[in-house]
Copies of this chain bind each other. A is one copy, B any other.
Amino acid sequence: MTIATATRFRQVCAEHGLTATHQRQILFEVLQGMTGHPSPEKVYAKVKRRIPSVSLATVYKNIHLFIASGIFREVSLHHGSLRVEVNSRPHHHLVCTVCRSISDIDEKDLGLLQKPKTLSSGFLVERYAVDVLGRCPSCQEKP
């Protein structure tokens, strides 16, 4: 870790009211150096190289803390348990970032996309799934 990195980490912690612990700093640096969408286990493996005594629970807790603070995001808000889609109409989803409730919105009511069927990357498109992220009516009351 460079002095600059360390300083920036302390700044980030100050901004979000977090205690600047050694474990958090290494986790922060490890995450910044990773690509893709790593799992907690993958992150843990990397942190452990630099802090052999680190606990998996600490990695989980601090990933959640970083996410709650907005320092990092999670890839998907619905990574929990399996849910069955029983609505056969073409539709998308309104996902509340606070309570994680999911409600349907008809494709036409969203009215926003012209969907390219091919992408330069060689990916064969089947369909688009849009999550509109935000706050549901009942979660707008408390700030």
Q: Which residues of A contact B (CB under 8 A)?
A: 31-32, 34-40, 43, 63, 67, 72-76, 78-87, 93-94, 96-97, 102-103, 105, 109-116, 119-137, 140
Contact = CB atoms under 8 A, between A and B. Distances in A.
B105 A82 contact: no
A76 B76 contact: yes
Contact of A134 (B31, B76, B113, B123): B123
A89 B66 CA distance: 17
B109 A112 contact: no
B136 A132 contact: no
A132 B119 contact: yes
A99 to B, nearest CB: 12
Contact of A75 (B32, B78, B140): B78
